[in-house]
Structure 1
């Protein structure tokens, strides 16, 4: 069994290319790094490095250990993060990672209800678009990841993650007030083929290009932003029009912007994701119930 501290030192030498650089990175002395590597070689029973001038070169055995050390140290880091997460969850502290339009709508509604019923519960909110939120969940950096998906998108959910479908959210066209199509209840995407467009986040942008192609045109995208408030301001200023989730209508700040449902209806699915080994912990179950209740009030899944 290798000593984890020696394995980390070995990995740092491999990464930096020298004992001296590894010592500077780790805050050790160079002789201390040398001592750690010599002890690891005694544990392994083989030489891991040979000298090449001022640099060190991996032996064949060193290359083999380098491949394994990357995986071992990553798994150890993830294990430590998950154990820390369990400790937080048992203390009623839950970290939620969510995307902007849900943090401005479903999250506040959920937290208001939860805190009234569970005053000791503490929720820490982080903002990230999918798939970054899923990466954070898998890395142990959050406990619940809220994400969205569009019809036809590939299902790439890891087996260790449980999914809870919360809500289906229609897409709307954001138009500047006074636009002729604001007089209609719904807007056909094909009727906007000549418009200039402001596009949203990369995931939404990719889906937008797909539905435009299905409608028979390529949109003229003049600006792109991940910021919902900036998107509204750009539409209000006449820079272009945009497609956005209907949740945005709940915090539409510009009187000069009007939302109209796209026809035919296009929807995205909003889901909560947790690690299967955590989904029945009381703090997780409490927050998930709160999310389901808030989503149901909005006509959720």
Structure 2
């Protein structure tokens, strides 16, 4: 195979209380990437969108992953990639992870699937480090595997796919930018033990809720006492969106990744669409343009054209 086309989904990281350890894949938005194998060790990047991202592979999230894949494969091949991004950089919907994971999966396909899933995650985290300054996998793993994932450890890689309940996801992306690196810098480096205990209970409750398909337990556990109180000050309208969405019947939600996007989980499409209307209204009232997605959890993750996804988010 000399060419391959893939679709890399957006993701919601943290899932409120699971900072850097929980994430889920979305059925939309998705990036489209087309790869061609080259017979010399170089990376050529073409952008087919309006985001004007770097085409220098050492400065491009997908580029550094492809360079690492070339080195890992022995240094005698190269890649040409055309990227059509629909996940806006800085949206909090895993834009950099989609580029990184998509690059890892696309390269692997052209190389005859020589890399293991753990190796794909390690390759993709190189892209995340370029984007955010930190190797983290809470967007990467659901993007590659689909569904909902728990990162028990990245040293060594230990990923736990969780059960994926049939829930609707409503996401509002206010058209402002919150840089992941900036959102990390404002976090407290120490927390009170009482807050840590409460957070651990919420994480355990959320995981149990997913595994037991207990929607009410999921809703009760979508509470963050450590990260959200700090990061939410960067997102205008956040408290009102969250309060009014839950009043409309949403199970709960919070900041998607580092923001500014905000997500809510709902049991029915009717509630999810009502939540979307509320989100849109809040931001219209405060004069901020926004885009709303009403979607579901992708159980496939990165999809190679004509094939099912890399992992199984069942």
Question: Shorter chain as normaliser: what TM range?
Answer: under 0.3
Q: Which has the larger radius of gyration?
A: 1
TM normalised by structure 2 equals 0.21
Q: More helix per residue: 1 or 2?
A: 1
TM normalised by structure 1 equals 0.22
Q: Which has the higher contact order (CA 8 A, sep 6+)?
A: 2
